[in-house]
């Protein structure tokens, strides 16, 4: 619990920083937590494109494997990228925070709870909103997070957006079509929404068990009532 609080507290200052982008139109992420394949793809992309810098350290690999229907062998062989990590470990990243802060000017925050703090639509839009800006250290800026210290790590997939004179953006040079890129970003967002509330998956199926239990309990209670009142009448 203490760790969760710390995570929330460390996220709040960066929220204030991003306030400049608060009035930007957010696109709807449209994620589906029952789409296990999408969550698996999201985990895969997250591990390969994001986990080098960002941890999701309130999650363990084996828990995620269980929730997303992945065997422990597949988890180990296909999804884990941090050297020396074991499937029972927390999903930490490989770079020390102090170095990261030095390299980027801001430490990449842990992302376990980012979807809860920022919202899924913010996250989805953020990953789509990097654009060319020479004045920034990595040559890119972001419309929903102005002056962000993160490079556009998905540039090979999306391409680079360049602002036109009329304010619109033209994106070129990506390996994926715009629709394919949207899906990748939706998968990653879905995985992070799941990470922020892993119990949500369980809660939904638990609901049916609770309803079933109440129904059976109702029948038992009714039969008991009949039995008790039989002699009274």
Cα–Cα distance list, 35 to 30, 206, 210 (Å): 12, 18, 23
Choice from 81, 87, 150, 176 touching ligand HEC (CB under 6 A): 150
Residue 184 binds ligand HEC (CB under 6 A) = no
Q: How many residues bind ligand HEC (CB under 6 A)?
A: 24
**How many Cβ atoms from other residues are within 10 Å of residue 122's Cβ?**
23
How far apart (Å, rounded) are the C-alpha atoms in residues 158 and 166?
22
Choice from 11, 24, 85, 176 touching ligand HEC (CB under 6 A): 11
Choice from 33, 87, 153, 157 touching ligand HEC (CB under 6 A): 153
How far apart (Å, rounded) are the C-alpha atoms in residues 231 and 18?
72
Cβ-proximal residue to ligand HEC, closest one: 50
Choice from 106, 157, 176, 201 touching ligand HEC (CB under 6 A): 106
- Which of the stretches 49-57, 58-66, 128-136, 195-203 binds ligand HEC when contact is defined by CB under 6 A? 49-57
Residue 53 binds ligand HEC (CB under 6 A) = yes
Q: 83 near 222, Cβ under 8 Å?
A: no
Residue 119 binds ligand HEC (CB under 6 A) = no
Residue 139 binds ligand HEC (CB under 6 A) = no
Cα 55–Cα 60–Cα 65 angle in degrees, nearest 5: 115
Residue whose tokens read 């200052």: 13
Return the number of the residue (97 or 220) whose C-beta is nearest ligand HEC: 97
Q: Which two tokens stand for residue 125?
A: 């839009």
Residue 50 binds ligand HEC (CB under 6 A) = yes
Q: Which two tokens stand for residue 27?
A: 């696109």
């Amino acid at each position: 619990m203490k760790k969760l609080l710390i995570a929330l507290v460390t996220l709040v200052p960066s929220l204030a920083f991003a306030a400049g982008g608060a009035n930007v139109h957010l696109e709807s992420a449209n994620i589906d937590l029952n789409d296990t394949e999408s969550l698996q793809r999201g985990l895969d992309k997250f591990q390969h494109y994001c986990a080098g810098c960002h941890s999701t350290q309130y999650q363990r690999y084996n828990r995620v494997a269980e929730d997303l229907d992945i065997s422990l062998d597949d988890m180990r062989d296909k999804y884990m990228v941090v050297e020396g990590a074991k499937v029972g470990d927390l999903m930490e990243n490989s770079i020390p925070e102090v170095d990261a802060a030095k390299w980027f000017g801001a430490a990449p925050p842990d992302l376990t709870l980012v979807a809860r703090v920022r919202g899924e639509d913010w996250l989805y839009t953020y990953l789509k909103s990097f654009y060319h800006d020479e004045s920034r250290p990595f040559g890119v800026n972001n419309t929903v997070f102005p002056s962000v210290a993160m490079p556009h790590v998905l540039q090979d997939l999306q391409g680079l957006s360049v602002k036109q004179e009329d304010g619109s953006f033209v994106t070129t040079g990506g390996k994926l079509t715009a629709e394919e890129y949207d899906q990748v970003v939706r998968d990653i967002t879905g995985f992070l929404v799941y990470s922020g509330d892993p119990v949500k998956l369980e809660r939904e199926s638990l609901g049916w068990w609770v309803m079933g239990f109440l129904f059976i309990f109702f029948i038992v209670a009714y039969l008991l009532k009949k039995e008790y009142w039989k002699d009274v009448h």
